[in-house]
Amino acid sequence: MSEPNSLNKLWAEGGSAVNAWLAINSPVSAEMMAKAGWDTVTIDTQHGMIDLGQAMTMIQTVSGAGAIPLVRVPWNDPAWIMKFLDSGALGIVCPMVNTAEQCAAFVSACRYAPDGNRSWGPVRIPFANPPEYKDWANRSVATLAMIETQEALDNLDDILSTPGLDALYVGPSDLAISLGSPPNPVPDVPKVLKAIDAILEGAKRNDVVPCIHCGSGEMAKEYLAKGWRLVTIQNDAGFLVAAAKAVL
């Protein structure tokens, strides 16, 4: 059986990803989005209205449509991280990673020993033979730590030097709030833009892949040109509302 697509492999080969974001708890919606041609599709279980059972069905749907399924977990909790990995997620986006210790705990939950403390028990994995999955998962499951607070900025190099961390992910709205500005999916406040630039430089310094949530296709194109390697454009709920308003 051939190996499934891997975001880490895409990055290692010099590629960048355009990522879809799912907040609607529907495998039909997930299938429609995945078939639209995104490289990766993230199922948001933090702010999206999606529970574990729904997420597993959506992971199956996304994988069947040929996209790489990622999950944003509700929090930096090994129980959630391991559940979604055992359900077939090929990457984890972890919110509010503010210290090196928090990042190390996140990465450890995504890796089997000796690289981490993930418990063995993959229920739904992309291999017929589970032992093959262990080594593949340790090198191929993508770990994305969200950098979205002043505290994370203060600890940036310590966080990004965590062994096993593949990528960082910027949430511009939470970052803006932490810096004392209103949330904005298309950041325009100078101090927020300066912080985002500093995060990009930190990623380059530590050989970590930079990823960011974008409020528009234009922003995504601009940030890809700047060197960001995964860009998310809004989410499915936002697309639905925008299209409905446009029709009306």
Q: Any residues with CB less than 8 A from the CB of 107 and at least 6 apart, and which?
A: 116, 143, 162, 163, 164, 165
Residues of the domain holding 118: 7-247
Angle at 146 between CA 55 and CA 226, to 5 degrees: 110
**2, part of any domain:** no
1 lies in some domain: no
Question: Is 100 inside a domain boundary?
Answer: yes
Residue 193 in any domain: the answer is: yes
* CATH assignment at residue 237: 3.20.20.60
Active site residues: 47
Q: Using an 8 Å Cβ cutoff, are 27 and 50 in contact?
A: no
Determine, yes or no, domain membership for 76.
Answer: yes
Question: What pLDDT shows up at residue 132?
Answer: 87
The verdict on residue 52 lying in a domain is yes
pLDDT of residue 67: 96
- What is residue 131's predicted lDDT score, i.e. its pLDDT? 83
User: How many domains in the chain?
Assistant: 1
pTM: 0.97
**In order along the chain (248 residues), what is the average pLDDT of each group of 10 residues?**
85 98 97 97 97 95 95 98 96 98 98 97 80 92 98 98 98 98 97 98 98 98 98 97 98
